[in-house]
Amino acid sequence: MSNLQHNKLYIYTLVSLAVIFWGVSYVWTKIAFAYYQPITVMLIRLTISSLLMAVIYRARNLGERVDRSDYKAFIFLSLFSPFFYFIGENFGVYHVSPTVAAVIIATIPVFSPILGYVAFRERVTVVNTLGFIVSFLGVMVMVMDGDFQFTASPLGVFFLFFAVFSALVNIIFLKKLAAKYSSFTIIRVQNFLGALFFLPVFLIMDVGDFISIRPSWEAIASLIALAVFGSTLAFMFYTSGVRAIGIARTAIFANLIPVVTAITSFIFLREVIDLNRITGMFIVICGLLMTQISNIRRQRANVMEQGVLPSPDPDRRK
């Protein structure tokens, strides 16, 4: 095997592991909810991840510091994600099945072109629009029956779309900071500030229950797994993929997250995956692929117009 093939295999392995970690994280979250409330789970997850990333930061002597002029942008970035995003995602998972949650969260790339048009006046193609419609119909198939009655909790669905909205707003601040800071620094600061945001909410709402609860080893293992694999290693591995093979191609792997969630939910939680959910998941993934293929074609067209070869990652520091 050549060095090029070996490197590609290594990168694809990292991206695949990131997808698996994120897919299983919905199941770990559901297991943790058997003992802890969502706010507690989010605080513990972000605190452990922040400590782990601080250790990595010291061990690798990364030395990148945040300029004071960017404090405000980082605060807003962390407010929308992880704070608002995790509130939406975790309370969503609390009320609906992990598979439904994973599919709705997976629609974030479908809404991104709409954000691009509203915030940056980027052109929205016909394929982008069709991808949005197809994915939205797929979500409706999953959460509603033939009589247009919710089979999933409407409150849970609302929280999950709130998470989607928070992730989209987060992109606005991320675009500015990603041009200046490495992904590791951004994630490290996000997790630390996110933990700080959750701390007062935890002290007001959950601290009494937290003290009285005696969790199982399964719950403790799930919390550690969420922090280490879901909030730390998955981001680092996925970023490696973005750097090596580009954003659009790496995003195609992320379409498999709901599939991983469905399989692991069936194995560990005995979740029933009926025809509606399988059909809805398939429709959503088709919509996602339409959007991402459109983005790849647009990038290639821009490159041909400019007459230069594309960089695998516009931000080499990621």
Q: Which of 212-216, 227-231, 292-296, 303-307 has the lowest mean pLDDT?
A: 303-307
Residue 197 scores a pLDDT above 90:
yes
More confident residue, 126 or 1: 126
| 3-state SS class at 161 | helix
Tell me the pLDDT band of 313, cut-offs 50, 70 and 90.
very low
Looking at residue 297, its pLDDT comes to 64
Looking at residue 243, its pLDDT comes to 81
Tell me the pLDDT band of 163, cut-offs 50, 70 and 90.
very high
What's the pLDDT tens digit per position in 235-251?
Answer: 999 988 888 877 767 87
Give the Cα separation of 167 and 119 in Å (integer).
14
Percent pLDDT > 90 in the chain is 58
Looking at residue 294, its pLDDT comes to 66
Looking at residue 241, its pLDDT comes to 87
Peptide bond into 82 cis (omega under 30): yes
Residue 309 scores a pLDDT above 80:
no
Q: Which of 21-35, 52-66, 89-103 has the lowest mean pLDDT?
A: 52-66
Residue 252: CB atoms within 10 A of its CB come to: 16
Give the Cα separation of 316 and 180 in Å (integer).
10
Which segments of 33-153 does DSSP mark as H helices, in order?
Answer: 38-59, 71-78, 85-95, 98-105, 108-120, 126-143
Residue 30 scores a pLDDT above 90:
yes
Looking at residue 229, its pLDDT comes to 97
Give the Cα separation of 268 and 314 in Å (integer).
40
What b-and-e string marks burial along 45-73, b requiring 16 or more CB atoms within 10 Å of the CB?
bbbbbbebbeeeeeeeeeeeebeeebeeb
Contacts of 243 (CB under 8 A, 6+ apart): 312, 313, 316, 318
Tell me the pLDDT band of 186, cut-offs 50, 70 and 90.
very high
Single pTM value for the model: 0.86
314: number of CA atoms within 13 Å, CB side?
9
CA neighbor of 122 nearest in space, from 172, 167, 186: 172
Looking at every residue in the chain, the average pLDDT score rounds to 87
